[in-house]
Structure 1
Amino acid sequence: MRTAIVTGASSGIGQSTAVQLARRGTGVILTYHGNQAGARDTVAAIEKDGGTAVALPLDVGDSAAFPAFRASVAAALRDTWGRDRFDFLVNNAGFGHMSLFQDTTEEAFDTLMRVLLKGPYFLTQTLLPLLADGGAIVNTTSSSARHSGLEPGYSAYGAMKGGLVVLTRYLAKELGPRGIRVNSVSPGTTRTRIGGDAFERFPEVIPGLAAKTALGRLGEPDDIGMAVAALLSEDCRWITAQDIEVSGGFNL
């Protein structure tokens, strides 16, 4: 059985990605930070469908903890699947932050950098010895790093996600000799818990966002999770170094 690591899978896009991969026959190691109940829900959903999953805690903003996390991954692979390698890595964990350029503090900038760019960079580096040749990586970026998603207030967030797009290309080039494909997906506006459940608290913004979307609605986590699962599949074996916008045609 192929196995995947999906970071930030206690809700939203990460949760959907973990479930979608499991439905396609992949064992899943999923991570959570502060939402253990959500991680348990993800594991339960996977097991209900006959899949296998293990939830591990991980703070993607704390790179000093990555070696210990790798040891936990190795133990989970051995104990649950009888393997010493995994096949897929989805760097999804993150958080949203909005502040106008002139109001963005250095502290907020550094936190975004640690979680959204430094974290995926060094987590991937740490896990690389366990990633099987012929495997694949998908990084969750954002339409805020593309022309279609430019909105005031996301200069720092979008800059980090833009950096992750560039990192995706470099990883694809450097890991290509091992047969490892590396792509990213840039979700548009998606109904998740990001921004402190913003869509639950401010439902009045949804019709306007849907009106700006070619397909006429807000994105749902499964719209993104299914795209990630497809990118990791054999169907996309000749795709690498790409950033694919998954937004339903936002701001077309």
Structure 2
Amino acid sequence: MTRISLITGASRGLGRNTALSIARQGGDVIFTYRSQEAEAQAVVAEIEALGRKAVALQLDAGDISTFEAFAGRVRVALREVWGRENFDHLVNNAGHGDYALIGETNEAQFDALVNVHFKGVYFLTQTLLPLIADGGRIVNLSTGLTRITYPGYAAYAAAKGAVEVLTRYLAKELGKRGIAVNTVAPGAIETDFGGGVVRDDPHLNKMFAEMTALGRVGLPDDIGPMIASLLSDANRWVTAQRIEVSGGQAL
């Protein structure tokens, strides 16, 4: 039976790359986008060109009040497209960056980061648990900034640190259903995350490259295939782990 993965925030960046990597490995995808519907439909077309099925659904991953309605739309898509009542993998990827030193962070910035990166992950996972097949997988995206520090990302990294703890608790509580839960923590990556700062600032790019064992910053193609491989049967015995995918950053 074809595996179905639900990925949040996959109209661009790491989410898009993960969706395409899963499709290349023979999986089908449901994914969310916040506002860029045209970009999302372009990803659907790319996945369909690979011979796989895909559905794009709108979701604000930080608005908990919409999660029950979203789960209803997932149920409809599963029945209409796949004739199924559940999906196999949940990848909590959606997120944004917001640079602010601790002394300058305002409550709105803090709340927005926590709502998407921790509270939203917690309650979206809770809402979707009845739809995740026994023996399935959950992958939560974190960051290398929970291990190393870079001024200006305290609130973002703290929210991701909370997700890393949540991952272990999910693994413990869902183990009886055979569901493996892991964290993937990318290092510095060339995407439009945080306004594309790592990709577009040559000084910052060079700085991170010099502190990375493999001598460069990461690319989406370094992350998406790794997540897809973590969802494969070959990694069925891996759970409750924080797996950093950073090329050996800050060793």
TM-score (norm: length of structure 2): 0.97
Structure 1 unaligned blocks of 5 or more: none
Distance 1:196 1:12 in 2: 12
Distance 2:36 2:202 in 1: 23
What percentage of residue pairs aligned between the two structures are identical? 54
Distance 1:82 1:24 in 2: 21
- The one-letter code sitting in structure 1 at the alignment partner of 2:121 is P
What corresponds to 1:160 in structure 2? 159
CA contact (8 A) 2:191 2:199 kept: no
CA contact (8 A) 2:140 2:183 kept: yes
Report the more deviating stretch, 85-94 or 105-114. 105-114
Task: Give the match's secondary structure for 1:189.
Answer: coil
Structure 1 residue 224: Cα displacement: 0.9
What corresponds to 1:211 in structure 2? 210
CA contact (8 A) 2:187 2:249 kept: yes
What corresponds to 1:174 in structure 2? 173
What corresponds to 1:71 in structure 2? 72
- The one-letter code sitting in structure 1 at the alignment partner of 2:63 is D
Task: Give the match's secondary structure for 2:196.
Answer: helix
- The one-letter code sitting in structure 2 at the alignment partner of 1:81 is W
Q: Does residue 1:8 correspond to 2:9, yes or no?
A: yes
Matches within 5 A, 1:92-241: 92-146=93-147, 149-241=148-240
- The one-letter code sitting in structure 2 at the alignment partner of 1:2 is R
Report the more deviating stretch, 37-46 or 102-111. 37-46
Distance 1:95 1:197 in 2: 11
Distance 2:39 2:187 in 1: 23
Distance 2:51 2:102 in 1: 47
Structure 1 residue 212: Cα displacement: 1.3
Distance 1:35 1:192 in 2: 16
How big is each residue's C-alpha offset from its partner over 1:127-152, in whole Å with a ceiling of 9 and x where there is no partner? 00011000000000111111xx3111
What corresponds to 1:30 in structure 2? 31
Distance 1:178 1:170 in 2: 14
Distance 1:50 1:214 in 2: 37
Q: Does residue 1:50 correspond to 2:51, yes or no?
A: yes
CA contact (8 A) 2:197 2:204 kept: no
Structure 1 residue 36: Cα displacement: 1.6
Distance 1:174 1:205 in 2: 40
Structure 1 residue 103: Cα displacement: 0.7
Structure 2 unaligned blocks of 5 or more: none
Count of matched residue positions in the alignment of Structure 1 and Structure 2: 250
Structure 1 residue 184: Cα displacement: 0.7
How big is each residue's C-alpha offset from its partner over 1:205-227, in whole Å with a ceiling of 9 and x where there is no partner? 22222111111111011211111
Distance 1:204 1:38 in 2: 30
Distance 1:197 1:151 in 2: 16
CA RMSD of aligned residues (A): 1.0
Distance 2:196 2:144 in 1: 19
Task: Give the match's secondary structure for 1:171.
Answer: helix
Distance 1:32 1:62 in 2: 13
What corresponds to 2:89 in structure 1? 88
- The one-letter code sitting in structure 1 at the alignment partner of 2:188 is T
